[in-house]
A and B are shown apart, each in its own frame.
Chain A
Amino acid sequence: MQALFFVLGIPLLGSAVLAFTGHRSYARDINVGFSLGTFAAACVLTVQIIAHGPRFAWGQLFFIDPLNMFLVTLTTFVGLTTAIFSRPYMRVEQDHGKMTPPRMRLYHSMYQLFSFTMLLALTTNNMGILWVAMEAATLTTVLLVSVYRTAASLEAAWKYFILCGVGIAQALFGTVLLYMAAEKVLGAEGGTLLWTHLEAVKAQLDPDIVMLAFAFLFIGYGTKIGLVPLHNWLPDAHAEGPTPVSAVLSGLLLNVALYAVLRCKVLADGALHSLLASQLMMGFGLLSVVVAAFFLSRQKDVKRMFAYSSIEHMGLISFAFGMGGPIANFAGLLHMTVHSLTKSAIFFTVGHATQKAGTQVMSEIRGLIKVNPAVGWGMILGVMAILGMPPFGVFASEFLILTTAMREQPWATPFLFLALGVAFASVLVRVLPMVFGETSLKPLAHPPALVPVFVHLGLALMLGLYIPHYLNVWYVQAARMLGG
């Protein structure tokens, strides 16, 4: 398990190094270097897991199985591409005077620490450590969102901290209750909060306690997924922070929070002998899809619009996992992957577009394809992909989710179609003039990093056409474990 040590150690070391050197001109490259190292370690870990199957590390404190393995790889990969994107982006921000040297230091250091907290949350086997890591992820992203120190970013960060702090406190209460249920079965040994131990005895856990525990855990981590009605922090945090932060928030943090809910759901399903967990996830998922789609149609700020799109997709994924069953779970996992790749690619292009136009108001961004054809193409292709046009991966997963919904939850299908239709129309109407309209703006001073955009879109396209064998095996295994 050397590889896991490096997966967790490299970002932690990177955070310490960048805390001292983050303001130098080469810090942007160091940031990419550490992210690359983490990604390489994750690849080695992936190969080991493919060869030897799920395993523990350091006693039983860490646990790698198909469900978290693909998320670890995805997280380190998007972490790397976002670091590459952030190089020219942050250089322009420095030129504009929005980032001073101390802020650059904070930004780089917190970027690595944020990666560390997410990877810790994904790989730990202890439900208590999972909570600690989620809270730490909130703290680091609060600092990242407020890094510009403007009135709006402070407000967004304060709101984010208070709302998610309260939310995550509910999750801690849920964890305490879960511990109480586990203590009766497993005794007060050190391993009582280990997920694998809980999973082994889940049928013996007291249903009353687990029901209450799951309700609190769902509210708590659900706040961090951005499920309606606890989503208020999400658009503000996305819109007011630096764009690389929006990309990792949407692409990664929401996934990690959803992962936490999924781990809890497996336990709740086993203990409850009822469909409570599934119904909660379906209900709030559907509500999020519908509400977010209608809010989408009213946005003027481009980053807010895509933030609402993230809420919509997270709702759709929750709905899929709520339905359960091998196909819906498979589709949910696939959707997590492709949404993360596509949405971060969109934020990369949005970042360059807003820097060029000097504003995030959509009616003032025009003619991207004339000045920076690559940015324009990246944005229009990314938007097509996220709206579920074939042959991109989102189409495949949405198709699976919708067909399963038609078969198993027919009452929900009209709402889903309505919401997806509204989202499609309102996003497209705003994006087309941004890409094709007339403009008199000059190109950016530093060449934008567009390789990440097209790599992400290429992967999303590949997943729509062909899923590699081992990934398919993981999805199937994870879907089976999620049961339903």
Chain B
Amino acid sequence: MTQFVPQLTNLFATMILMLSFAMISQRRIVSLINLFTLQGAALVAASVLVGYATHQPDLYVSAGLTLVLKVVLIPWLLHRVIRRLNVRWDVETLINIPTTMLVGIGLVIFSFSLALPISRLSTSMASGSLGIALACVLLSFMMMITRSKAVPQVIGFLSMENGLIFAATAVTNGMPMIVEIGIALDVLVGVLILGVFMFQIREQFDSLDIHNLETLKED
């Protein structure tokens, strides 16, 4: 069993990256949330595996936090929000998928070349994971830039957090517990605030299109 653990970890790392690609090319909001849930699940699996391989019980706690937050609580909240706002079947038409994918591939190459001199120093078993984590962060960043609706922007933000947690887990075998709890708390509160904002934006503008939020500009 043990000899398969690094392979399995790499598999889940790759899944996290593939899911990031799936998310930047997904137009339907409800599918986007499902993809985000899957990414959270892959992150949980990777954390548990790294914890098992390195005998670090802290990582099980961290995996548990991710499970509760990113797989159960936040997707449930997001589903609730889109049902209440009635944007469940909304489709975003503006993104150009082939170009986005090409730029995404460029970002992955950039991340790996940036991480290359460092990941060979990594003590952790998954040596490619730093590049993958950085690529996830940049892909989510791109998603936030290209999307014009509020919910996909928030999911981009959360997926960026996933990439960061994966970096902390796979590259350094987990941050100190107190920091992990603090991060989880910040993310949860952040999502709650953004959720409330979405209702208020809708009330003010009758739509969740971020293009409405472009009136504050320099003359």
Contact = CB atoms under 8 A, between A and B. Distances in A.
Interface of A: 126, 128-129, 131-132, 135-136, 139, 142-143, 146, 149-152, 154-159, 161-162, 165-166, 169-170, 172-173, 175-177, 179-180, 183-184, 188, 190, 192-193, 206, 208-209, 212, 236, 239-240, 295, 298, 300
Contacts of A169: 137, 157, 160-161, 164
A158 B157 contact: no
A193 B123 CA distance: 17
Given A165-B190, A180-B171, A128 B164 contact: no
21 contacts: A126-B179, A129-B178, A131-B179, A132-B183, A136-B189, A139-B189, A151-B205, A161-B193, A161-B194, A162-B144, A170-B137, A173-B133, A176-B164, A176-B168, A176-B172, A177-B118, A183-B172, A183-B173, A188-B173, A298-B219, A300-B219
Main secondary structure of the interface of A (DSSP, over half): helix
B209 to A, nearest CB: 12
Interface in B91-115: 114
Contacts of A136: 186, 189
B157 A157 contact: no
B167 A173 contact: yes
Contacts of B21: none
A91 to B, nearest CB: 25
Contacts of B178: 126, 128-129
Given A157-B197, A166-B160, A180 B172 contact: yes
B171 A176 contact: yes
B128 to A, nearest CB: 15
Most A CB contacts (10 A, CB to CB) among B150, B157, B179, B189 go to B179
B134 interface: yes
A169 B219 CA distance: 31
A84 B219 CA distance: 35
Interface of B: 114, 117-118, 121-123, 133-134, 137, 141, 144, 150, 153, 157, 160-161, 164, 167-168, 171-173, 175-176, 178-179, 182-183, 185-186, 189-190, 193-194, 197, 200-201, 204-205, 210, 212-216, 218-219
Most A CB contacts (10 A, CB to CB) among B133, B172, B216 go to B216
A139 B183 CA distance: 12
Nearest to A157: B197
Nearest to B134: A173
Contact of B218 (A126, A184, A295): A295
B176 A193 contact: yes
Nearest to B121: A206
B134 A146 contact: no
Contacts of A128: 175-176, 178-179, 182-183
Contacts of B121: 184, 206, 208-209
A143 B190 CA distance: 10
Nearest to A192: B176
B206 to A, nearest CB: 11
Contacts of A151: 204-205, 215
Contact of B176 (A126, A159, A184, A236): A126
A179 B216 contact: no
Contacts of B193: 139, 142-143, 161
A318 to B, nearest CB: 22
B118 A158 contact: no
A150 B205 CA distance: 10
Contact of B186 (A135, A159, A209): A135
A149 B161 contact: no
A267 to B, nearest CB: 16
Given A154-B204, A155-B213, A166 B141 contact: yes
B215 to A, nearest CB: 7
Contacts of B179: 126, 128-129, 131-132, 193
A409 to B, nearest CB: 29
Contacts of A212: 114, 118
Nearest to A213: B118
Contacts of B204: 149-151, 154
B175 A154 contact: no
Contacts of A142: 193
A184 B210 CA distance: 44
Nearest to A178: B172
Nearest to B153: A162
A136 B205 CA distance: 28
A154 B200 contact: yes
A62 to B, nearest CB: 13
Contacts of B168: 176, 179
Most A CB contacts (10 A, CB to CB) among B121, B212, B213 go to B213
A308 to B, nearest CB: 10
A378 B124 CA distance: 59
Contacts of A173: 133-134, 137, 164, 167
Task: Report the 7 A-B pairs with minimum CB-CB distance, sorted nearest first.
Answer: A128-B179, A132-B182, A155-B213, A135-B186, A151-B204, A180-B172, A236-B216
Given A161-B194, A240-B216, A176 B167 contact: yes
A175 B212 CA distance: 35
Contacts of A298: 218-219
B51 to A, nearest CB: 13
Nearest to B187: A135
A152 B157 contact: no
A170 B138 CA distance: 10
A146 B200 CA distance: 10
B123 A154 contact: no
